[in-house]
Amino acid sequence: MNVKTFDYKVPGGKLLRIHAVFELDKILECKIFGDFFMHPEEAKEGLEAFLLGKTLAEINPELIDNYLLDNQIELYGFASKDLIYVLKQIYENL
Amino acid sequence: MKIYRDTKNKGAVNMAVDEYLMLQSAADNEIIWRFSGPKNCVYLGYFQSAEQELDLAKCYADKIDVIRRQTGGGAVYSDSELTYSVCIPIGHPFLKSLGVRESYEQIIQIIIKGLKQLGIKATFKPLNDILVDGKKISGNAQTRRHGVLLQHGTILMDVDVDKMFSYLNVSDEKLRDKFVKSVKSVVTGINHILDVSLSFQALQEHYIAFLQEEFKAYKPEVLDLTEALKEAASEKFVDKYFSDSWNFKY
Whether the pLDDT of residue B154 is over 70: the answer is: yes
Q: What is the pLDDT of residues B79-122, one digit of tens each?
A: 899 999 999 999 999 998 888 999 999 999 999 999 999 999 99
Contact B138, B13 (CB under 8 A): no
A 73-92 residues with CB < 8 A to B: 74, 76-77
Q: Is A17 on the interface with B (CB under 8 A)?
A: yes
What percentage of chain B carries pLDDT values higher than 70? 96
User: How do beta strands A37-39 and A74-76 pair?
Assistant: antiparallel
Interval B182-199 mean pLDDT? 88
Interval B47-61 mean pLDDT? 95
* Best residue in B47, B54, B148, B171 for a mutation probing chain A (most A CBs within 10 Å): B47
Closest CA to A91 of A41, A12, A26, A10: A26
Residues of B in contact with A77 (CB under 8 A): 72, 127
Interval B134-141 mean pLDDT? 95
Give strand pairing partners of B123: B131
Contact A16, A82 (CB under 8 A): yes
Res. B172 pLDDT band, cuts 50 70 90 = low
- The superfamily CATH assigns to domain A4-92 is CO dehydrogenase flavoprotein, C-terminal domain (3.30.390.50)
AA identity, residue B198: L
Interval B218-223 mean pLDDT? 97
Q: How many CB atoms lie within 10 A of CB B155?
A: 24
Least confident of B80-84, B194-198, B199-203: B194-198
Sign of CA dihedral B181, B185, B187, B189: positive
Whether the pLDDT of residue A28 is over 80: the answer is: yes
Interval A8-20 mean pLDDT? 94
What angle separates helix B227-236 from helix B11-28, to the nearest 10 degrees?
A: 90
Whether the pLDDT of residue B173 is over 70: the answer is: no
Closest CA to A15 of B131, B104, B169: B169
Inter-CA distances, B83 with B23, B36, B37, B201, Å: 19, 5, 5, 12
Q: What is the pLDDT of residues A33-71, one digit of tens each?
A: 999 999 999 999 999 999 999 999 999 999 999 999 999
Give chain B's domains with CATH numbers: 2-245 (3.30.930.10)
ipTM: 0.95
- CA dist A83 and B12 (Å) reads 32
Q: Which of B73, B100, B145 sits opposite A35 (nearest CB)?
A: B73
Give strand pairing partners of A43: none
Q: Is A46 on the interface with B (CB under 8 A)?
A: no
Interval A4-30 mean pLDDT? 94
- CA dist A6 and A18 (Å) reads 6
Res. A87 pLDDT band, cuts 50 70 90 = very high
